[in-house]
């Protein structure tokens, strides 16, 4: 009996490890597919659609995929300036940014800032769920490494701009540009791009409230920063 228990324990541990590796292989396979293919509805988009359809069964999401070259350079600069100023330098994680966010949250006694890079946000949006937990953050880190190891910075930013939430049922740069400004993503001005970037942390709130005083202030901050950052080349 004394020898059987360790065998059962060993089998259980090996089964858990095997399942974990299979899950990671599944994620990695999709990362490789989406390196070249349009991802389509992400896990986060499916969650948002289900929430909308609880209130309105025939609700649909607004999203139109556009290629990297058809999105204004203004929006690319604004998003990097607002969300991940070291996007072109890091390999998925901005440890200085994480430290600053931790210190700000500790000072305010609440979660007032996040330290997630664009790649981390993309990993979450593609595969995971919005609620924060150690399991989700751990899986997010693994998928981030997969994406950074196989995708170019241009591809990361292209998919991010097409899949990010920008309002209630509004996803992607093209849908956001037309919803808020009545123009295509390629025609966004510097101010319009900076405003869209300012909305990223709370898109549904700003969709309801419009251009608040706080949104205008943040837009001005991003306008000052956006021309100081590098972006992936068009080709």
Q: What is the pLDDT of residues 171-219, one digit of tens each?
A: 999 999 999 999 999 999 999 999 999 999 999 999 999 889 999 999 9
Q: Are 148 and 117 in contact (CB under 8 A)?
A: no
CA-to-CA dists, residue 189 to 67, 76, 78, 95, 155, angstroms: 18, 12, 11, 32, 23
Q: Which of 175, 162, 203, 227 is nearest to 48 (CA)?
A: 203
Determine the Cα angle at 174 with ends 169 and 176, to 5°: 45
Where are the chain's structural domains?
1-33, 34-228
pLDDT digits (tens, 9 = 90+) for 107-146: 655 454 567 999 999 999 999 988 888 889 999 999 999 9
CATH superfamily of 34-228: Biosynthetic peptidoglycan transglycosylase-like (1.10.3810.10)
Find the helix or strand (DSSP H, E) in which 143 lies.
helix 134-150
pLDDT recorded at residue 1: 47
Q: Are 157 and 145 in contact (CB under 8 A)?
A: no
Average pLDDT, the chain: 91
**Mapping DSSP to helix (H, G, I), strand (E, B) and coil, where does residue 170 land?**
strand
Q: Are 137 and 143 in contact (CB under 8 A)?
A: no
pTM of the model: 0.89
């Amino acid at each position: 009996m004394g020898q059987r228990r360790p065998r059962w324990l060993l089998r259980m541990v090996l089964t858990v490890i095997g399942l974990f590796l299979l899950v990671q292989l599944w994620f990695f396979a999709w990362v490789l597919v989406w390196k070249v293919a349009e991802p389509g509805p992400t896990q986060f988009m499916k969650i948002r659609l289900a929430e909308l359809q609880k209130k309105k069964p025939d609700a649909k999401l607004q999203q139109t995929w556009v290629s990297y070259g058809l999105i204004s350079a203004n929006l690319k600069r604004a998003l990097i300036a607002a969300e991940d100023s070291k996007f072109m330098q890091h390999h998925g994680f901005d440890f200085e940014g994480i430290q600053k966010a931790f210190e700000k949250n500790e000072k305010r006694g609440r979660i007032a800032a996040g330290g997630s890079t664009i790649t981390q946000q993309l990993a979450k949006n593609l595969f995971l769920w919005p609620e924060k937990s150690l399991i989700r953050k751990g899986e997010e880190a693994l998928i981030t490494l997969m994406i950074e190891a196989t995708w170019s910075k241009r591809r990361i930013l292209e998919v991010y701009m097409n899949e990010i939430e920008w309002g209630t049922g509004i996803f992607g740069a093209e849908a956001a540009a037309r919803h808020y400004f009545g123009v295509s993503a390629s025609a966004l001005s510097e101010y319009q791009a900076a405003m869209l970037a300012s909305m990223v942390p709370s898109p549904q709130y700003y969709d309801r409230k419009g251009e608040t005083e706080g949104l205008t202030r943040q837009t001005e901050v991003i306008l000052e920063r956006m021309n100081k950052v590098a972006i992936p080349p068009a080709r």
